[in-house]
Amino acid sequence: EAQVTQNPRYLITVTGKKLTVTCSQNMNHEYMSWYRQDPGLGLRQIYYSMNVEVTDKGDVPEGYKVSRKEKRNFPLILESPSPNQTSLYFCASSLTVTSGNTIYFGEGSWLTVV
Amino acid sequence: GNSVTQMEGPVTLSEEAFLTINCTYTATGYPSLFWYVQYPGEGLQLLLKATKADDKGSNKGFEATYRKETTSFHLEKGSVQVSDSAVYFCALYSGGSNYKLTFGKGTLLTVNP
């Protein structure tokens, strides 16, 4: 089954404690991306990756890092989380960057920073 | 820049009622348009899409037509069910190497028996 898998699904953490949200896809997709969803703001892109070792900033990259060492994995790293990073995070993937290709989303990761 | 505006929610309907969720957009060029649905506790699922003007996307009884002249992509369903209760997002992609989807703020639909 085609899947984008995120972990953890739910996490409460404290300010400043580094954390990583993992994302893995089993569809051999080249493109992967991270979004955050906040009430009244919809979804906003954090980072994206066109392929292995190729990453770039989206609209709201501050406070986040990513890496793409393998095609299937695209972890989101919060080096020093702050309360304003409390949000619902979605990982997404697509075969390539071509209009018409479907973008698949993971189930989301609820992150609370206290 | 690109933007998507969809009707404010929440929308509450009775089962078998007709549904319309309005969506209008601003974009350069000829964007592809999408409706995504988020059921309670789940991730985003692509509901339907249209990639050029006058295309109609359809799935699970939902339909939306790409209207370039009115820059709209309204979601419709003739008879909603309780299981359609979810948050619906309109989105567009207008090209670019980041393949970024621009989303509307989402519309919460609740269908009562």
Q: What is the mean pLDDT of residues B16-23?
A: 97
Predicted confidence at residue B28, as pLDDT, reads 81
Q: What ranges make up the beta strands (E) of B7-85?
A: 11-14, 19-21, 23-26, 32-38, 44-50, 56-59, 62-65, 75-77
Q: Which residues of A touch B42 (CB under 8 A)?
A: 107-108
Question: Do the Cβ atoms of A33 and B49 come within 8 Å?
Answer: no
Question: Do the Cβ atoms of B103 and A104 come within 8 Å?
Answer: no
Tokens of A73: 């994995």
Q: Which residues of B touch A103 (CB under 8 A)?
A: 46, 99, 101
In chain B, the residue whose alpha carbon lies closest to the alpha carbon of A97 is B99
Looking at the predicted structure, is the pLDDT value of residue A95 above 90? no
pLDDT digits (tens, 9 = 90+) for B24-83: 999 988 899 999 999 988 888 999 999 999 999 999 999 999 999 999 999 999 999 999
In chain B, the residue whose alpha carbon lies closest to the alpha carbon of A6 is B43
Q: Which B positions 23-52 lie with beta carbon below 8 A of chain A?
A: 32, 36, 42-46, 49, 51
Predicted confidence at residue B107, as pLDDT, reads 94
Tokens of B20: 């319309």
Predicted confidence at residue B97, as pLDDT, reads 65
Torsion region of A71: left, alpha or beta (phi above 0 gives left; psi -120 to 50 gives alpha): alpha
Cα–Cα distance measured from residue A82 to residue A112, given in angstroms and rounded to the nearest whole number: 9
Q: B82 at the A interface (CB within 8 A)?
A: no
Tokens of B108: 């919460």
Which residue from A103, A2, A102 is spatially nearest to A43, judged by alpha carbons? Answer: A103
Predicted confidence at residue B95, as pLDDT, reads 76
